[in-house]
Amino acid sequence: MTLLQPYDRNEIMTSNDLTKRADLTRHARGTGALRTRRPAYVDFLPPCNDACPAGENIQAWLALAQSGDYEAAWRELVSNNPMPSIHGRVCYHPCEDVCNRAFTDSPVSIHAVERFLGDLALEQDWQFEKPGKSSGKKILIVGAGPSGLSAAYQLVRMGHEVEIREAGPVAGGMIHFGIPAYRMPRDELQAEVQRIENIGVKITLNHRVDDILAEKEAGDFDAAFVAVGAHISKKIDIPNRDAGKILDAVSFLSQAKEGDPPKLGRRVAIYGGGNTAMDAARTAKRLGATETMIIYRRDRSSMPAHDFEAAEALEEGIKINWLRTIKEIDRSTFKVEVMALDETGRPQATGEFEELEADSLILAVGQDTDTAFLESVPGIEFQSDHTVIVSNNMMTGYEGIFAGGDMVPSDRSVTIAVGHGKQAARHIDAWLNDSTFKHAARGALISHEKLQLWYRTAAPQVEQDRLPVDDREGGFDEILQNLSEPEAQFEARRCLSCGNCFECDGCYGACPEDAVIKLGPGNRYKFDFDKCTGCAVCFEQCPCHAIEMNDEPGIEQKQS
């Protein structure tokens, strides 16, 4: 067991704490009746919960998972996010980026435990509990992507009747059409969608909504939530004399997924530096391209793609031409200009040119949302990029029509879209009841320096097994593998329970006056203030900072 260096209480105290301790020293001569501060159990906000775009109570479901109560953990998880099997695969887990465990060894692999719970739920056929009553209200949702599915699920749980109208042949939105199967297998995707249907959500496929007001009136809907994904590739003007095959990334990935990919030739170039560009390059490689290259005008540190996406692409033999921009195309010859970063990190032309050869070009320079069908609706306003402007309650300028996901100004990801759906459901429910939804007060965020990890030992993150590179070529088998049950439980147990009591008995064992009373499993503790002397040993022993030392009631009068 690796022990910490001797604990210095001043290192975790604020300047205000130190002032109060100095006051205690001046005014107290001993303990007992002269107690000037008393302990109190508190609950703070862990950084993982704070960072989750879907608003999951990560710490709560990890605690249930570490005790082996997997179904309870899953039910806690899906109270906020109905698709954990999907999110355990495609979420970029910002929760792990802020995990306090990183200061000890490595972050908790939250996404891997989430996937374990999601896949176990599918295996065990755990289903959502159906609502016990009906509100008599009907809501129309346009778009069966992650935001629409999330909103529908939450609204049905609230007792409303919900119908989703989807223009495409399958539900899932960009999860289905834009994410390759090696990252998101289709069986798990469709199983998660089916479970949402099982709770009572009606999904009508191949139904494009062109007139939202007529659709709303014809179906006698009380409200509508529009969550159309970003399926339209942005255009880019590249001078060409006699260009070869040029495709857009979204259409290419969709065709590849449907089993009817376009003929690309032996050499394929992808223009762009986002996650879609990486997916397009890796998909082209799997479809038989012998040489696949990405052309991107910035450097690796500035690319919008997540770094692990670039690492996996390079691992699979994709070439990435950083700091290059296409200036002209002549059949299969691409004239590219070398760029250089200025002092602000922006790419600037150098006047130096190179030539690259490719049989086809896939454009992956971003996607837009088709919001044209809303332009005739009075009151609805748009940003210059055609995204829809919504108020704080996610309502558009037309009363009763709400919007979220990729079609509103925001960062774009599956998890953000799911969070939008949940929030929209809350606002729609409140609006239908002539009220306003207000977020609950958030506790103070607990940072690493507030923790007292006197028991800390190294227990590095469990690595998910990966499909060997040689086995990836020519197929779309999933790359990352699931954790085993012992691995998932071990990973859940690495959680430090930042800011919230997990009944470690540290305070109970440390109190010299036996002033800490155990209330039984799950009920935590309370203080016996007839015995407590205010010595703060419990505060100093609490590893997760779930105890605060507060001024004794009326202490100012006593001291004066």
Average pLDDT over residues 481-509: 96
386-391 long-range contacts (CB < 8 A, ≥24 apart) are 388/226
Bridge-partner residues for 162, per DSSP?
A: 139
DSSP codes of every residue in 450-474: G---TT----PPPPPPB--GGGTTT
According to the model, what pLDDT value does residue 244 have?
66
| CA-based nearest residue to 55, from 76, 70, 69 | 76
The number of angstroms, rounded, from the C-alpha of 204 to the middle of its chain's C-alpha atoms is: 27
pTM for the full model?
0.89
According to the model, what pLDDT value does residue 556 have?
54
Whether the per-residue pLDDT at 28 is higher than 50: the answer is no
Q: How confident is the model at residue 91 (pLDDT cuts 50, 70, 90)?
A: very high
Whether the per-residue pLDDT at 547 is higher than 50: the answer is yes
Both structure tokens of 61: 């479901």
Whether the per-residue pLDDT at 4 is higher than 80: the answer is no
CATH assignment of 138-231+369-432, among 3.20.20.70, 3.30.2140.20, 3.40.190.290, 3.50.50.60: 3.50.50.60
Q: How confident is the model at residue 230 (pLDDT cuts 50, 70, 90)?
A: confident
Q: How confident is the model at residue 367 (pLDDT cuts 50, 70, 90)?
A: confident
Alpha carbons 378 and 399: distance in angstroms, whole number: 10
Burial class from Cβ neighbours inside 10 Å (0-12, 13-18, 19+) for residue 69 reads middle
pLDDT tens digits, 295-352: 999 999 999 999 999 999 999 999 999 999 999 998 889 999 999 999 988 999 999 9
Alpha carbons 239 and 245: distance in angstroms, whole number: 14
Burial class from Cβ neighbours inside 10 Å (0-12, 13-18, 19+) for residue 335 reads middle
Mean pLDDT for all residues in the chain: 90
According to the model, what pLDDT value does residue 454 have?
78
Q: Which of 43-47, 294-298, 421-425, 554-558 has the lowest mean pLDDT?
A: 554-558
Average pLDDT over residues 411-437: 96
CATH assignment of 47-126+451-493, among 1.20.1290.10, 1.10.1060.10, 3.50.50.60, 3.40.50.1100: 1.10.1060.10
Instruction: Give me the count of residues in the chain.
Output: 560
| CA-based nearest residue to 347, from 278, 300, 293, 292 | 300
Considering the domain 9-43+501-559, what is its CATH architecture?
2-Layer Sandwich (3.30)
In the chain, the percentage of residues whose pLDDT exceeds 90 is 78
Q: How many helices (H) and strands (E) does the chain have?
A: 19, 20
Alpha carbons 28 and 533: distance in angstroms, whole number: 11
User: Bigger pLDDT: 237 or 518?
Assistant: 518
According to the model, what pLDDT value does residue 242 have?
60
301 DSSP assignment: G
Q: How confident is the model at residue 17 (pLDDT cuts 50, 70, 90)?
A: very low
Whether the per-residue pLDDT at 9 is higher than 80: the answer is no
Q: How confident is the model at residue 500 (pLDDT cuts 50, 70, 90)?
A: very high
Whether the per-residue pLDDT at 25 is higher than 80: the answer is no
According to the model, what pLDDT value does residue 260 have?
83
According to the model, what pLDDT value does residue 33 have?
53
According to the model, what pLDDT value does residue 243 have?
61
User: Bigger pLDDT: 14 or 332?
Assistant: 332
According to the model, what pLDDT value does residue 31 have?
45
pLDDT tens digits, 138-162: 999 999 999 999 999 999 999 999 9
Q: How confident is the model at residue 239 (pLDDT cuts 50, 70, 90)?
A: confident
According to the model, what pLDDT value does residue 331 have?
84
User: Bigger pLDDT: 126 or 236?
Assistant: 126
Q: 235-367: CATH homologous superfamily?
A: FAD/NAD(P)-binding domain (3.50.50.60)
Do 456 and 182 form a contact (C-beta atoms < 8 A)? no
Do 65 and 88 form a contact (C-beta atoms < 8 A)? no
Q: How confident is the model at residue 523 (pLDDT cuts 50, 70, 90)?
A: very high
Specify the domain boundaries for CATH 3.30.70.20 within the chain: 9-43+501-559
According to the model, what pLDDT value does residue 1 have?
34
Specify the domain boundaries for CATH 3.50.50.60 within the chain: 138-231+369-432, 235-367
Q: How confident is the model at residue 241 (pLDDT cuts 50, 70, 90)?
A: low
Give buried/exposed letters for 251-286 (b at 16+ CB in 10 A, else e).
Answer: bbbbebbeeebeebbebbbbbbbbbbbbbbbbbbbb
Specify the domain boundaries for CATH 1.10.1060.10 within the chain: 47-126+451-493
According to the model, what pLDDT value does residue 54 have?
96
pLDDT tens digits, 432-469: 999 999 988 888 999 999 998 877 778 999 999 999 99
Average pLDDT over residues 83-107: 96
According to the model, what pLDDT value does residue 35 have?
87
Average pLDDT over residues 55-71: 97
Alpha carbons 335 and 350: distance in angstroms, whole number: 14
Residues 6+ away with beta carbon under 8 Å from 487: 462
